[in-house]
Amino acid sequence: MRTKWCQKGIKKIFLLENRCLKSNVSKENIISYQGHLWGDNVSTLLSEIPESKFDLIILADLVFNHNQHRQLLTTLLRCLKRSSESDVPENRAYAYCIYSHHVPKWADRDLAFFELARIEEFGFKVEHVYDETWNPMFPDDIGDIVKRSTVYCYRLWLPEKN
């Protein structure tokens, strides 16, 4: 299940604020690379693609920025295509959110991102995809090693408006 989103036949990649990924992706597949302040106007982002919005957005290690949850969801709402509830899951546009709890005592703050995503203002459907144990990103940090070593994957999608 972990790599299903890679099998959509993606031909071009739009990179946003992620220097690590840029260095690991073949340059001929990158159509654009630019910074963006979460919650700001997205017209320059959307002008980079021929479609009106994105089919796939990958959020890597962002939910620890608790004071940016609302702005991040605002950007997602403006950039992710809506999908019909009757669509088979493979045909929906998704935002995949992959993260770990770097500070276990604040796990509830990380999870608040998904609760906020569900409220009427945003209206995302949220689905848990998988958990996987890895080595902790910061091995010497304090807190439960199991929580710090677990990587979580959720996906969010927007149903069509009624």
pLDDT along the chain (162 residues), means of 10: 44 49 54 78 84 85 91 94 80 90 91 96 95 82 82 93 72
- pLDDT reported for residue 99: 92
Residue 77: both structure tokens together: 């709402």
- pLDDT reported for residue 128: 95
pTM exceeding the 0.85 threshold for the entire prediction:
no
- pLDDT reported for residue 13: 53
CA distance 99 to 77: 20
- pLDDT reported for residue 146: 82
Sign of dihedral through CA atoms 97, 49, 157, 106? positive
- pLDDT reported for residue 4: 43
**156: phi then psi, degrees, rounded to nearest 5:** -120, 145
- pLDDT reported for residue 159: 92
- pLDDT reported for residue 20: 46
- pLDDT reported for residue 6: 45
**What is the per-residue burial (b if ≥16 Cβ within 10 Å, else e) of 65-102?**
eeebbeebbbbbbebbbebeeeeeeeebbbbbbbbbbb
Instruction: Centre a 10 Å sphere on the Cβ of residue 122 and count the other Cβ atoms it contains.
Output: 15
- pLDDT reported for residue 2: 38
Residues 138/102, Cβ–Cβ less than 8 Å: yes
